[in-house]
Amino acid sequence: MASKLLLFIIFLFDVAAFGLAIAAERRRSSAYIKKDSELNYQYCVYNSDISTAYGIGALFLLFASQVLIMIASKCFCCGRALKPTGSRAWAVILFIICWVFFIIAELCLLAGSVRNAYHTKYRTFFVNDPPSCEMLRKGVFAAGAAFVFLTFVFSELYYVCLSKARGSNQSYGGGEAGIGLAAY
């Protein structure tokens, strides 16, 4: 039987990660070109860098929720072998999908945070040639938020299917680890 407390904790972590990823998208750094007082050169001025912290926070919360669900489910690899049932088959499929979505979400959040924290530091001395103020492309944190949501859905379904497979019938093979040759 799936632990309702664990499912609720995972829900809280993933909702917080989703909210932070959305907040990071809304508060992306933006820049404008500023000229010095003597008009000798131009440089980029960036606004607040809070979205990098939001992105890193979302990254760590998603990581924590994935670690919790894998510890609780014994990462599907450890533990007793399960009888081949529909629940086990769905658990395998959902395990793979949840890890793919998790990796994509983590990469989006990490790449968005790193790219958002990058600020150009050079100046241009030609007034007609403005500097390139590089900024994070719109939608990177939003993609991360979407994959956080998909990771949440598939990891919870994986845990429920695996719990159902472990709860129905006993382990595959009768419970003995050795080969039964004692009768011979």
Per-residue pLDDT tens for 45-99?
777 778 889 999 999 999 999 999 988 888 767 767 777 777 888 888 999 999 9
Cα-atom radius of gyration of the chain, to the nearest Å? 24
- In three-state secondary structure terms, 120 is coil
pTM of full prediction above 0.85: no
Kindly give the interhelix angle for 50-72 and 86-117, rounded to the nearest 10 degrees: 160
Structural domain boundaries in the chain: 4-167
Instruction: Return the pLDDT at 171.
Output: 47
| Amino acid making up residue 70 | M
Dihedrals φ, ψ of 49, to 5°?
-110, 30
By C-alpha distance, which of 139, 124, 130 is closest to 32? 130
Q: What is the pLDDT of residue 135?
A: 67
Q: Give me 135's structure tokens.
A: 């900024």
Tokens of 13: 């972590």
Of residues 56, 52, 63, the one with CA closest to residue 10: 63
> Rounded to whole angstroms, how far apart are CA atoms 145 and 108?
9
State the amino acid at position 16 in one-letter form. A
Mean model confidence pLDDT for the chain: 81
